[in-house]
Structure formats: structure tokens, C-alpha cells
Amino acid sequence: MTRANNFSAMISESVQKYGQKTFFVGEKFSKTYEDFYNDIQSLSGYFMDNSLAGKKIGIYASNSYNWLLLFFAVAAGVGTIVPLDKELPEKELALSAKRIGLDFIFYDNLTKDKVNCLPKNIHAEHINKIDDIIRETPNRKAKKASKRECAALFLTSGTTSKSKIVMLSEKNLVSCAYSSATAFKLKSTDRYYTILPLHHTLTLMCAVLVPITNGCSICFSKNIKDMQREMCFYQPTALVVVPRLLEYIMNNIKLTAKKTHKEKALQKLIFISRGARLLHIDIRKPLFSSIHARFGGKIRMIACGGAELDQRVFNFLDDLGFNIYQGYGLTESSPILTIRGMFVKSKIGVGRPLNGVHLKIANPDAAGIGEIIAKAPQVMLGYYDDKKATEDVLKNGWLYTGDLGRIRNDGNLEVVGRKKNVIVTSNGKNIYPEELETLINYSNIVKESIVNGVQKKSGLQIIATIVPEDKNRKDKSLDSKISKLIKDINAELPDYKRINKYIIKKDEFEKTTTLKIKRGAK
């Protein structure tokens, strides 16, 4: 069977198969796949009738059903959709709009005051206007749109002045959705839940596009404080998260065990569970049913991406019966290139390439480490209005990711760090900061860290800036504990990789909306 290569065909195919199945689940209403398709048609038709064909239309709002309608109505043929981070401050919003040449923007109650900074030629409308449009013309049909290659523009993480604007086509996103769905082994009965913002390709792909291909239901969280209540209400089978959220879940479980004096009992059950798994008997779900019940009781898989997942977090949640899929990719690849599923025995690496994805290591060193390059249908068209930046990363059909890694004997891709972060010694040896950060972060007294190389008169110094866990910040012996930690780490490292100095930082590092540290920020 041939796969769809555009949004209209993908949604039509799902409507034919799953028309009366629930697509969107909200606390106050739900929509079937057929409802969703008809609403998209109505909104697309309205845009066509009101001269919005070919325009760049921004979404500056929180996750919602109307967010989805707007995305698909525009991206499926009307014009170019521009999902924007709802946390963007006014100055960066104005700069983004200018760089992109935005024509129209939809906002919500959270962002309505910020849109006043935009030029008057950009028409702004509240996203609730969509309800009125659909109610007034429920059976409107969209006209056939003129063909255009770029369906969506996504800003990469970072400040607006430094971020790049990625051009993705319908084919890019749809091809990634189908190949990812195969790797995730979805069921049409799955219900996806996420708190992550949809302006990130990771969330859009894993929490929306992939589920659509298999007739799954989707629901969104309002905020992290409501997560547990919402999950008990929605009873999702799948979560889409970033590593920091899994860390939050792990700490929440441990804190509850401590408060209820059940820490020893939890460890005993983990020991029993591990023993049973050695005999190929999986009793994790029944053993930890009370913990699963706190998250709705039906979670069978967790999709995690956006950054490297701490192995301690993976091991802990895996012991409790939460099956975690990890992946690798970037906005420029729509975004997924590899997925490591719950049935992969190796705990090292970020998985094997998706169907249709070809990976190579460019200019590998003696250890097989080099730049990861990819060729796939989901690789972007290029960077918007930036020919030089496009030529720097797209060469002969290959995307040069800027990430360093190696392909292991078992076929798994192992990522060791960013090319631009590598510290090179005077002897030409490479130090990967992310490798050292992983060793530091493994300690239960450390929350996060960043390692940098600083050139001094005496030579290169490797400096670690460390943020301790909240509970350890007032510990009078903190400095001596971190000193011992660094000493123990250095004892296992070759001389050139050893950390020369550490700085204890009280406040957390600045982060993106997917909770990834902004390395350039202070």
C-alpha cells in the first residue's frame, strides 16, 4: 500500500479507516476523526475565501484543538504555517515576525498582550475566532490550493537572533510520521498525552502526526501541576516527554515513597522484579500497580527525545514497568532519524535508523567518532532566507547534523556531543563536554552541569559549572562532597580529560521550553 505524502491524503486515509473513532479528547468536549476532517475543510475554505492563500500565518498560542485545526488548515494547502513559542518575549516575537515576513497571527489569552508589539500590517486574531468560523459555515469545503513546497517554518531553539528558520514540506513531515509509527508499534486504541508545546517538531511529530497515522486519540495537558490529575482523567497509554519531565516523575515517585515510609519496600520490589526478568518473567506492572494507577494505570509506552536521557532515570522507570522509547533527530530532520525501542537490549545509543533513513559518520577518527550525516525523505528543504547556512549543512543530499557520534556494532547510533562544543587540546586530542557532564550528573547530589574549556596563560583548563540538587544546596559539606566527586571522576579519566576546576552555581541554567539547557546563556 502506498503511503500518503501530504496532510490531506494522510488525514483522508485516517478518516476512511477510523472516521467515528475519537481523535481529540478534552475535559469538556471530544472530536472524532470525521469531525476533525470537516472542521479543517471549513477553516481552509474560510481562509481561501478571505484571501489568505499563500500567506504566512503564525500560531502564538498554547496547545489546543484549535491549534491543531489552524496548523492543518494552513499547512495542508492554504499557505505556510509558522508555529511560534508562546513564551517568546515581545522583542523576540517582533524580530521573528520581521525575519519571517509574517502576514497573519493567531494568539490566545496568554499571549494577547504581547502581540501589540507587532507592526500594524500583521493582522492579529484571537484563536477562539476559529470556533465562530466553523459554527457559521460548518459545511464549507476548501478549494484546491495552489501548489507550494514549504508547508511550515520552525524556529530552532535559542534566542531569535541566533536561531535558524527551518523550512519543512508536507512530504518531510508526513514521511517522518509514517516511518516513526512503524518503529513505535502503535495500536489504534492508544491515547497520547503530552504537556510539551506543539511549536516543537518533536511534540508535533510524536504527539500528533504519528498518532494520526494509526487512528489513535490525543489529549493535551494544561500545566505540570495538573499532570497527575489529568492523567487519571484521560488514562493515556502513551506519553510524549523530554528527559527533564521523566526526571520530575522519578523524583515525585521517590518523594512519595519517602513520605509514606515505603522506600525499603520499593527497593525490595525492584529487586524482585529484576530477578523475575532474568528468568524472562515480566511482573513489573502488577508489582507496581499502585504507582501506575497514579498516572492513569494504562501507560504502555513513553516517547522521550530532545536531549540525552540520564541512564539512572531510564533504569528506575524501566524497573517500574514504564517502557521508554528514545530517539535522535533535529528540527532539520522533521525531527526523528533514529528510535531505540523497548525491545532493544542495548542500553547504549539512541537506536537504529528509521525506514528510509541513511546514516553515515563523516571523517571518523580512530575511535570511529565523526560528524553524523543523514539522507532521508524527512530532511528539510533548507533554512529560510539563508542560502549560506543551508549550503553549510546540506551537501550532495546529505544533512550534516553538527552532532558527533559513531555507529556501534549492533547498529545503534551513539551520540557523543555537539561538534561546536568539542574542546581540542594543544596535542590535538578531543574532549567531549557532554561525556564529562554525564559523569558529573550521575551523582545524586548534582542536578545539572556544564563543562567548558578555557584557555589560560598556563594552558587549557577544563572547568565544570555544577548546580547541586535542591536538597543539597544548604549542606555545609557540599563543597567537600563535590570536590570528592570531581576527584573520583578524574581518577577514571586520562590526564587530558581531567577536570581542573569546578564552580558551584546556586541557580539552574537557562533553558528552552523543552527544558534543554541553553549552553550559551549565563
| Residue 462: CATH number of its domain | 3.30.300.30
Q: Does residue 302 lie in a domain region?
A: no
Distance CA 287, CA 273 (A): 8
Please report which helix (H) or strand (E) contains residue 31, including its range. Answer: strand 30-32
Helix, coil or strand: residue 104: strand
Q: Does residue 304 lie in a domain region?
A: no
Q: Does residue 356 lie in a domain region?
A: no
- Of 304, 240, 254, 223, which is closest to residue 469 (Cα–Cα)? 254
Q: Does residue 114 lie in a domain region?
A: yes
pLDDT at 142: 66
Domains in the chain: how many in total? 2
- Of 446, 457, 520, which is closest to residue 488 (Cα–Cα)? 446
Is residue 510 within 8 A of residue 517, CB to CB? The reply is yes
Q: Does residue 98 lie in a domain region?
A: yes
Pick the last residue of a domain from 140, 163, 186. Answer: 163
**Does a cis peptide bond (omega within 30 degrees of 0) precede residue 433?**
no
Distance CA 22, CA 73 (A): 19
pLDDT at 160: 43
Residue 166 half-sphere exposure toward CB, CA atoms < 13 A: 26
User: How does DSSP classify residue 220?
Assistant: E
Distance CA 469, CA 447 (A): 5
pLDDT at 8: 92
Q: Does residue 79 lie in a domain region?
A: yes
Distance CA 58, CA 154 (A): 10
pLDDT at 474: 84
- Of 336, 331, 11, 64, which is closest to residue 177 (Cα–Cα)? 336
Pick the last residue of a domain from 114, 132, 163. Answer: 163
Consecutive 10-residue runs of the chain (522 residues): their mean pLDDT? Answer: 81 96 95 96 91 94 97 94 94 93 97 94 96 84 72 78 88 96 91 95 97 97 88 96 91 92 95 94 95 95 88 92 93 95 68 95 94 97 96 97 93 91 85 91 91 87 93 88 95 93 92 79 59
Pick the last residue of a domain from 163, 197, 226. Answer: 163
Residues of the domain holding 426: 422-504
- Of 80, 85, 65, 75, which is closest to residue 22 (Cα–Cα)? 65
- Of 31, 15, 100, 102, which is closest to residue 68 (Cα–Cα)? 31
Residue 374, C-alpha cell as written in the block: 543523514
Q: What's the per-residue H, E or C state across 382-407?
A: EECCCHHHHHHHEECCEEEEEEEEEE
CATH code for the domain of 150: 3.40.50.12780
Distance CA 37, CA 407 (A): 42
Residue 117 neighbours by CB distance under 10 Å: 14
Tell me whether residue 302 is exposed, middle or buried, using C-beta atoms within 10 angstroms of its C-beta: 0 to 12, 13 to 18, 19 or more.
buried
Distance CA 372, CA 358 (A): 10
pLDDT at 511: 84
Whether the CA torsion 136, 197, 356, 401 is positive or negative: it is positive
Helix, coil or strand: residue 122: coil
pLDDT at 348: 74
Distance CA 352, CA 87 (A): 34
Phi, psi dihedrals of residue 37, rounded to the nearest 5° = -60, -45
Annotate 66-102 with b (16+ C-beta within 10 A) or e (fewer).
bbbbbbbbbbbbbbbbbbbbbebeeebbbbbbebbeb
Distance CA 182, CA 175 (A): 11
pLDDT at 159: 42
